Structure 1
């Protein structure tokens, strides 16, 4: 085999006129995917659940194979699409009649913030770091957790947010990036401080060193009281 053989790199063993067949196969799979999405009533084109991602990946594999490989027949791929469409409909019907199956395939919404307090153990159970979650909050113009009455991680990965009214905003852990957040093990002055690990709020005296009573973490930052900008 010759290295950098342009003909081999471009076409390998197929003739040039096979490119026309590739175009036809691509159009064929495009139509099949489009029909599948129409038939299944895709509600998650914007955001997909885990089960729906699995279906789309399976479809993509079948569509890619038939589009590019000359030895993959087209009719079996049609059967794959029909089977998956039927499976999708069947599973959607089964989930509508079984909450346990729905929880297994779709998962459950998880409360991550309640009354300005971060449920860090639930966040980690969802394989999401505080940095990722705080980024989601900052994208929604949130400066600190005391502005958030309720934050729910939905089954599609999005975060639903419910805010305190301005007059009800609590002191909370600032979620600004680390370089903008001062951390103390010995607090410099009397104030409300937020645990940098679990967001618990405590009133500390100047010079005080204290482990967080909620999680045992030694680092604190000044609790933020800013109102939310809408």
Structure 2
């Protein structure tokens, strides 16, 4: 084999006019995936359940092969498309008649914040770090957890937020980036402090240094009572 052979690097063993066939195959697979998305009635991946994402990935794998490889026939991909479309319709029907199957394939909503504090154990079971979750909350305009009555991670990965009224806002953990908040291992004054990891609120004395009783984290920040600006 000759090194730096531009023809081999660009086309391997196929002729130049095979690029036209690639364009046709790509159009074919694009139409199949587009039709499947129309069948599911979804507008974006974040709106899809785990089962629907799995279906799309399976179809995408088959579509990718037929688009680029000259020895992959096109009709089997159509069969894959028809099979997955039928499977999708069948599973949707079964889930509408079986709550257990729906929970198995799509999961259940998970309460992540309850009454201004992280539901720490549930957050861990959702395979999400508190820092990832805080980023999602900041995108929703949340500055500190005491502003939230409930935050629920839905089965499609989106987060539903339910706020306290301004006169009901509690003291809570500030969830701004570390560069925007002061953190302490030894607290400077007597006040309410929030564990920066699990958000538990404790009244600590000036000069006190202790691990969080809830998660054993050593760092604290002053609890905030900031209200939402709408």
TM-score over 0.5 (shorter chain): yes
Provide the C-alpha distance between the structure 1 equivalents of 2:205 and 2:164, rounded to a whole number of angstroms: 28
The 3 A distance-change label for structure 1 pair 93 and 4 is: same
Please state how far the C-alpha of 1:66 moved relative to its aligned partner.
Answer: 0.9
Comparing 13-22 with 106-115, which one deviates more in the overlay?
Answer: 13-22
Once the two structures are TM-superposed, the CA of residue 179 in structure 1 deviates from its matched residue by: 2.6
> What SS is found at the alignment partner of 2:226?
coil
Report the number of matched residues.
230
Distance in 1 (CA, whole Å) between partners of 2:211 and 2:12 is 66
Deviates more, 1:103-112 or 1:117-126: 117-126
Identify the residue that residue 147 of structure 1 maps to in structure 2: 147
What is the alpha-carbon distance in structure 2 between the residues aligned to residue 90 and residue 122 of structure 1?
32
Structure 2 distance, partners of 1:137, 1:71, is 49
Deviations 1:6-45 (A, max 9, x none): 1111111111111111111111112212222223333655
Q: 1:30 is matched with which residue?
A: 30
Q: CA 1:191–1:19 in structure 2 vs 1: closer, same or farther (change >3 Å)? A: same
Question: Quick one: structure 1 residues 8 and 119, their matched pair in 2 at CA, closer, same or farther if it must change by over 3 Å?
Answer: same
Stretch of structure 1 that moved more, 217-226 or 133-142: 217-226
Structure 1: gaps of 5 or more residues: none
Cα deviation, residue 127, structure 1: 1.2
Cα distance, 1:206 vs structure 2: 2.1
The answer on whether the counterparts of 2:42 and 2:48 sit within 8 Å (CA) in structure 1 is no
**Residue 69 of structure 1: how far off its partner (Å):** 0.8
The root-mean-square deviation of aligned C-alpha atoms, in Å, is 1.7
Which residue number corresponds to residue 103 of structure 2?
103
Alpha-carbon offset, residue 210 of structure 1:
4.0
Q: Give the equivalent residue in structure 1 for 2:187.
A: 187
Whole-angstrom distance in 2 between the partners of 1:13 and 1:123 = 52
Superposition TM-score, scaled by structure 2 size:
0.93
Deviations 1:140-166 (A, max 9, x none): 121110111110011111111111111
Q: How does 1:58-77 map to 2 (within 5 A)?
A: 58-77=58-77
SS in 1 for 2:47: coil
Distance 1:207 1:214 in 2: 20
2:86 maps to 86
Shift of 1:211: 4.1
In the aligned structure 2, how far is the partner of 1:76 from the partner of 1:204?
67
Q: Offset of 1:204 from its aligned partner?
A: 2.4
* Structure 1 residues 219 and 37, CA gap change in structure 2 (3 angstroms): closer
CA distance in 2, matches of 1:165, 1:44: 32
The match for 2:17 is: 17
1:220 and 1:41, CA in 2 relative to 1: closer, same or farther beyond 3 A? closer
For structure 2, the 5+ residue unaligned runs are: none
